[in-house]
Amino acid sequence: MISSWKKKLPLALSVMIMGSQAAWATVVEVQTVLGNFQVNLFDKKTPATVNNFLGYVNSGAYYSNVVHRSVPDFVIQAGGFTYNDEFPLDRVTKGAAIANEPELSNVRGTIAMAKSAGDPNSATSEWFINLDDNSANLDIQNGGFSVFGQVLGDGMKVVDAIAEMQTYDAGGALTDIPLRDYSDDQEELKGENLILITDIVVVDDSTDTHPELEPVPNTLIDKQQNDDNNGSSGSGGGLSWGILMLGLAVILRARPSIRCYRR
Q: What is the per-residue pLDDT across 188-244, written as a single tens digit (0 to 9) for each?
A: 899 999 999 999 999 998 877 898 899 999 999 977 766 666 664 443 444 343 433
114: Cα within 13 Å, side-chain hemisphere: 22
Q: Would you state the pLDDT for residue 245?
A: 42
In whole angstroms, what is the distance from residue 90 CA to residue 84 CA?
Answer: 7
Query: Looking at per-residue confidence, does 263 or 165 come out higher?
Result: 165
Query: Looking at per-residue confidence, does 186 or 179 come out higher?
Result: 179
Cα dihedral 204/67/82/106 (nearest 10): 60
Interval 15-25 mean pLDDT: 47
Residues sharing a CB contact under 8 Å with residue 31, sequence separation 6 or more, in sequence order: 197, 198, 199, 200, 201
Which of 12-26, 32-46, 217-231 is least confident? 12-26
Q: Would you state the pLDDT for residue 238?
A: 40
Cα Rg, the chain, nearest whole Å: 19
Query: Looking at per-residue confidence, does 128 or 25 come out higher?
Result: 128
In whole angstroms, what is the distance from residue 25 CA to residue 206 CA?
Answer: 6
Nearest alpha carbon to residue 77 among 242, 195, 200: 195
Sketch the domain layout of the chain as residue ranges. 4-253
In whole angstroms, what is the distance from residue 85 CA to residue 175 CA?
Answer: 21
Q: Would you state the pLDDT for residue 97?
A: 98
pLDDT at 5 over 70: no
- pLDDT digits over 95-119, tens only? 999 999 999 999 999 999 999 999 9
Q: How far apart are the first and last CA of the chain?
A: 29
- Indicate the residue type of 192: E
In whole angstroms, what is the distance from residue 146 CA to residue 260 CA?
Answer: 13
257: Cα within 13 Å, side-chain hemisphere: 15
- Which CATH code, of 2.40.100.10, 3.40.50.970, 3.10.20.30, 3.90.320.10, is assigned to 4-253? 2.40.100.10
DSSP structural state of residue 225: H
Strand boundaries in the chain, DSSP class E: 27-32, 35-41, 65-66, 69-71, 75-78, 81-82, 90-91, 110-113, 127-130, 147-151, 166-168, 177-179, 196-204
Contact 130, 112 (CB under 8 A): yes
What's the pTM value of the predicted model, to 2 decimals?
0.82
Q: Would you state the pLDDT for residue 229?
A: 63
pLDDT at 19 over 60: no
- pLDDT digits over 47-93, tens only? 999 999 999 999 999 999 999 999 999 999 999 999 999 999 999 99
Q: Give the distance, in angstroms, between the CA of residue 237 and the centroid of all CA atoms in the same chain.
A: 38
Please count the helices (runs of H) and the strands (runs of E) in the chain: 7, 13
pLDDT, averaged across the chain: 83
Length of the chain: 263
β-strand partners of 130: 75
- pLDDT digits over 127-158, tens only? 999 999 999 999 999 999 999 999 999 999 99
